[in-house]
Structure 1
């Protein structure tokens, strides 16, 4: 049985999420909090929580402040962002700060359930539509040196590894990548390991953040085949 907590100050959204989870996730239980302080109290009372769904517009924690505080106080608790804001840089910043997923509030019901299932199974979830958008160069590549370093790292990847990285940046699991590229899941794991090594990334999330500094589809389209 999964135990979840949603921290959101909009009762209608909490009610809607309660309806979706109760009807779509078998044996799942959802607690509710209207502020960060209330969420913290509930986490202290319910140490068996599997996931906290955090809005970025709480009255007592604006932006990523709540995520940062929760990660400091409860490092054992997975936190996913559920927000109306969908800026690509915000998504990447949240993942960098330790969020296990980012779910836009506009996400359709079935996609929301799939995202929650993916996160509860220990996988990272990123919104595909957001991650496919080219990164704003002025924001994500503030210096020519950093841009050239990322570009150099990407050039070390084989065409197949770059294709796997593109799928990773869309939030796909290894199983989904294997299906998408018509290769074995063990092969995907081998490619992911090589990608982390070549990008000098410390984790899968770190690799996705590094990839976010470049327009991956552009690199992929301009690669010699």
Structure 2
């Protein structure tokens, strides 16, 4: 039995999420909290709690400070953020502070189900729509040289994989889009991390988020 906590101060939204979880997932025990203090109490009371869906703006959160506090006190619990504030900077900051994913409150039901499946399967989930927003054109010569240096060691296939990572796609989505096996994607991701000199997928995204990939593909 997997324990998951829905932490949101709006009962209607909690009910909607609980309904999705109960309809699409089995062997789940769903806990509910309306504040960060309640989340911390539940985490202390339920050692089997594995996952928290955490509202960014509920009482006690103080922005991403609540995420940091929860991760510090209970590092074994995976946390995905919930928020309507899904701009790229907020999402990346949440990931840098230890979130396993970020679900936009504007997500439709099917998108929500897909996000939860990825997260409960141990994958990272990022809101793809947020990462598809184009970056303003017109890099300076210095910025262009920095891009060239960053991507110089990558093959064209690895650049395509990195581009889709930055767009928030999962390994499975990348595999489907590029018509390659998911194991091959994992190998490309590992190679990309090694060549960029970063230890995690999130840090690779942070490093490459403003690159103009069209110049290299």
Tell me whether the two structures share a fold, i.e. TM-score over 0.5. Answer: yes
Structure 1 residues 10-89: aligned runs within 5 Å: 10-89=10-89
8 A Cα contact 1:50 1:120, kept in partner: no
Are 1:170 and 2:170 counterparts? no
Q: Given the superposition, is the C-alpha separation of residues 81 and 145 from structure 1 closer, same or farther in structure 2, using an over 3 Å criterion?
A: farther
8 A Cα contact 2:50 2:76, kept in partner: no
Q: Per-residue deviation at 1:136?
A: 7.1
Partner Cα separation in structure 1 for residue 147 and residue 70 of structure 2? 31
Are 1:196 and 2:193 counterparts? yes
SS in 2 for 1:61: coil
| Alignment correspondent of 2:182 | 185
| Alignment correspondent of 2:109 | 109
Are 1:222 and 2:178 counterparts? no
**Runs of 5+ consecutive residues of structure 1 not aligned to the other structure:** none
How many positions carry a matched residue from both structures?
Answer: 216
**Runs of 5+ consecutive residues of structure 2 not aligned to the other structure:** none
Q: Per-residue deviation at 1:24?
A: 1.8
Q: Given the superposition, is the C-alpha separation of residues 100 and 136 from structure 1 closer, same or farther in structure 2, using an over 3 Å criterion?
A: farther
TM-score in terms of structure 1 length: 0.88
Q: Per-residue deviation at 1:106?
A: 0.9
Partner Cα separation in structure 1 for residue 154 and residue 129 of structure 2? 24
Q: Given the superposition, is the C-alpha separation of residues 136 and 13 from structure 1 closer, same or farther in structure 2, using an over 3 Å criterion?
A: farther
Partner Cα separation in structure 2 for residue 203 and residue 43 of structure 1? 26
Partner Cα separation in structure 2 for residue 151 and residue 56 of structure 1? 36
Query: Which of 156, 160, 165 in structure 2 is aligned with 1:159?
Result: 156
Q: Given the superposition, is the C-alpha separation of residues 102 and 58 from structure 1 closer, same or farther in structure 2, using an over 3 Å criterion?
A: same
Partner Cα separation in structure 1 for residue 135 and residue 81 of structure 2? 20
Post-superposition CA distance 1:117-146 (Å, at most 9, x none)? 111111000000001123579xxx9xx978
